[in-house]
């Protein structure tokens, strides 16, 4: 009787291990984390570089500063997000933002781009900004994000919104653009975190 119980216990443990394995596989198959920024350093989770960019680095009246912020979108006390302090308040045409390499990632198993966004209530923030996705042809495919608040919010964008992407099997870059048309106020701070591709 004792032997039977041990056998039964082992069988149950084996079933649980298989079950957890299947669940873990299903989770990883449905979502690819591109960047959680939780190391507080480069590169992103798929080995891609990232940073802030300026239309004209010599024009001190405009620019975008990237830094790591301890305000993690997933509530991880040890995690980080990306903070973008933008300034498009300039006598000159102004745009700037954030770029992140996708390292030729094959996105064909997925159909949705996700990320978390939050405005900094203290610094002020635009409720609207543009993002761009590029495949290896580098043609920017734009999408306007709106409705930003001072709380973390998940933004999910179906791939079909990015109409100029021709080859989903090799993506090059994810870009955030602050410009003097969409950005109001023209200076402020936006937090970005947990950039993923998912199948929904
Ligand atoms: Ca994070
Ligand atoms: Ca300025």
User: Six-digit token pair at 78?
Assistant: 């040890």
The total number of residues written for the chain in this structure: 200
- Within-domain flag for 125: yes
Ligand closest to CA 33: 1
Question: Phi-psi category of 172—alpha, beta or left, where left has phi over 0 and alpha has psi -120 to 50?
Answer: alpha
Tally of CA atoms within 13 A in the half-sphere of 79 that contains its CB: 14
- Within-domain flag for 62: yes
- pLDDT value of residue 85: 98
Ligand closest to CA 91: 2
3-state secondary structure of 170: coil
Ligand closest to CA 83: 1
- pLDDT value of residue 115: 98
**In terms of residue numbers, what domain contains 193?**
33-198
Give the distance (Å) from ligand 2 centre to CA of residue 187: 7
Give the distance (Å) from ligand 2 centre to CA of residue 120: 18
- Within-domain flag for 175: yes
Peptide bond into 115 cis (omega under 30): no
The Cα 184–Cα 188 span in angstroms is 9
Ligand closest to CA 115: 1
Q: Tell me the DSSP string of 73-102.
A: TT--TT--EEEEEEE--SSS--EEEEEEEE
Reported pTM? 0.86
- Within-domain flag for 164: yes
Domain tally, the chain: 1
User: Six-digit token pair at 62?
Assistant: 């405009």
- Within-domain flag for 26: no
Give the distance (Å) from ligand 2 centre to CA of residue 191: 19
- Within-domain flag for 3: no
Ligand closest to CA 183: 2
Give the distance (Å) from ligand 2 centre to CA of residue 86: 9
pLDDT by 10-residue block (mean), the chain, 200 residues: 60 59 61 98 98 97 98 98 98 97 98 98 98 97 98 98 97 97 97 97
Give the distance (Å) from ligand 2 centre to CA of residue 152: 26
**Can you tell me which residue has the tokens 């939050």?**
118
Give the distance (Å) from ligand 1 centre to CA of residue 61: 30
- Within-domain flag for 22: no
- Within-domain flag for 60: yes
- pLDDT value of residue 157: 98
Percentage of the chain exceeding pLDDT 70 = 86
Contact 64, 97 (CB under 8 A): yes
CATH number for position 97: 2.60.120.430
């Amino acid at each position: 009787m004792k032997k039977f119980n041990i056998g039964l216990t082992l069988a149950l443990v084996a079933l649980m291990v298989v079950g957890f394995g299947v669940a873990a596989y299903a989770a990883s198959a449905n979502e690819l984390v591109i960047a959680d920024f939780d190391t507080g350093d480069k590169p992103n989770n798929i080995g891609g570089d990232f940073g802030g960019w300026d239309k004209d680095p010599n024009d001190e009246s405009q620019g975008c500063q990237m830094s790591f912020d301890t305000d993690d979108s997933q509530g991880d006390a040890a995690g980080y997000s990306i903070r973008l302090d933008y300034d498009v308040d300039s006598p000159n045409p102004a745009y700037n933002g954030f770029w992140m390499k996708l390292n030729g990632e094959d996105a064909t198993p997925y159909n949705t781009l996700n990320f978390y966004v939050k405005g900094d209530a203290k610094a002020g923030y635009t409720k609207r900004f543009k993002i761009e996705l590029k495949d290896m042809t580098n043609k920017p495919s734009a999408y306007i994000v709106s409705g930003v608040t001072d709380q973390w919010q998940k933004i999910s964008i179906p791939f079909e919104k990015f109409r100029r992407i021709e080859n989903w099997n090799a993506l090059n870059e994810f870009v955030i653009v602050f410009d003097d048309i969409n950005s109001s106020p023209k200076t402020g701070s936006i937090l970005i975190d947990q950039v993923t591709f998912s199948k929904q």
